[in-house]
Amino acid sequence: MGGPDSLSAVRPFLYNLFSDPEIIRLPRPLQRPLAWIISSIRAKRTKHYYEHMGGKSPQREQAEELARKLEEALGEGFVVRVAMRYWHPFTEEALDEVFKEGVKRLLLLPLYPQFSRTTTGSSFKEFDRVYRSRGYPEVPVLRVRDYHDHPLYIEAMVQNIKENLPENDHFLLFTAHSLPEYVVKEGDPYREQTERTVRLITDRFPERSWALGYQSRVGPIRWIGPTTEELLIKLVREGVKKVALIPVSFVNEHSETLYELDVQYRKLALDLGVEEFVRIPTLRSHPLFVEALKSIVLERLGGG
């Protein structure tokens, strides 16, 4: 999705986000006016998150570092660039760069392991709109829809947990971004794919207890649950004293991890009496994640 690169970018970033009908569905004539109102209201609170994070989101830098390492791993003949949905570098900025390199094929590789029409689907639609409207050369376009159960992606998640949680007595609390219930009821596979990702990871930790919660709800409509907050409260009431919080739908750090998890949920857990609270970092450019993406790219290209 991208993230604001300064405090002054918070409101326009939120406006771009809420203007997307795949994120919040509103009557078309009202979409942009209401997006302006919602973004103006939320920006006041959201700026506080980014002040805590140093004044901006680190998402672009982390994604571009991953892109550099993936390009190195793929070797000659590949150009890897980052396109963000709601802030710079936008899709057109990324396409301008890659066509300067004389590319002959394009492969769209989402940094969302699980597919949702609100995330990968929206990004694909934006690509199609930009690609059609700006007169780029016509080349074959391939797409990776998801990799939620790819063996190397699962291995990267497992190894990342082990590297950051050497002890064997923490409850594994997975957390993923929530979705409005109506999106799932209309056939979106995100929840099913997220649950499969978690099952495959926890199969590698048969001795651990675990649960999956959902975070980052917006507005008064019904969202999928249980919430991560509800689960934390329930676990403490059941006597859990050590919790490892594991983001499962994010591969880079941003406000949902650095503020919601590291500040809000950490405070809640400690206030409730949790003795040890460990937050597992996102994969970012973990060597096994780079290897997983390389394998996914080559598989989609048919070996090269």
pLDDT at residue 187 above 70? Answer: yes
Backbone angles phi, psi at 176, to 5 degrees: -135, 155
Cβ contact 178:217 at 8 Å: yes
Predicted pLDDT of residue 211: 98
Cβ contact 174:213 at 8 Å: yes
Do 99 and 190 belong together in one domain?
A: no
How many domains in the chain? Answer: 3
Do 122 and 171 belong together in one domain?
A: no
Average pLDDT of 38-49? 88
pLDDT at residue 254 above 90? Answer: yes
Do 133 and 194 belong together in one domain?
A: no
pTM: 0.94
Q: What is the pLDDT of residues 103-128, one digit of tens each?
A: 999 999 999 999 999 999 999 999 99
Predicted pLDDT of residue 168: 80
Structure tokens at 150: 């790819």
Do 192 and 252 belong together in one domain?
A: yes
Predicted pLDDT of residue 27: 80
168 assigned to some structural domain = yes
Do 71 and 89 belong together in one domain?
A: yes
Do 202 and 260 belong together in one domain?
A: yes
Average pLDDT of 76-99? 96
Using a pLDDT cut of 70, give the percent of the chain over it: 99
Do 31 and 116 belong together in one domain?
A: no
150: Cβ contacts below 8 Å, ≥ 6 apart? 292, 295, 296
Tell me which residue range forms the domain holding 116.
59-148+287-300
Give me the chain's average pLDDT, please: 95
From the CB of residue 183, how many other CB atoms can be counted at a distance below 10 Å? 21
* CATH number of the CATH domain containing 105: 3.40.50.1400
Do 191 and 254 belong together in one domain?
A: yes
Q: What is the pLDDT of residues 143-153, one digit of tens each?
A: 999 999 999 99
> In the structure, what pLDDT confidence band is assigned to residue 29 with cuts at 50, 70 and 90?
confident
16 assigned to some structural domain = yes
pLDDT at residue 304 above 70? Answer: no
Instruction: Give the ranges where 137-185 is alpha helix by DSSP (H).
Output: 151-164, 181-185
Average pLDDT of 145-171? 95
Q: What is the pLDDT of residues 192-205, one digit of tens each?
A: 999 999 999 999 99
> In the structure, what pLDDT confidence band is assigned to residue 245 with cuts at 50, 70 and 90?
very high
Average pLDDT of 50-72? 96
82 assigned to some structural domain = yes
2 assigned to some structural domain = no
Predicted pLDDT of residue 171: 97
1 assigned to some structural domain = no
Average pLDDT of 142-170? 96
Predicted pLDDT of residue 107: 98
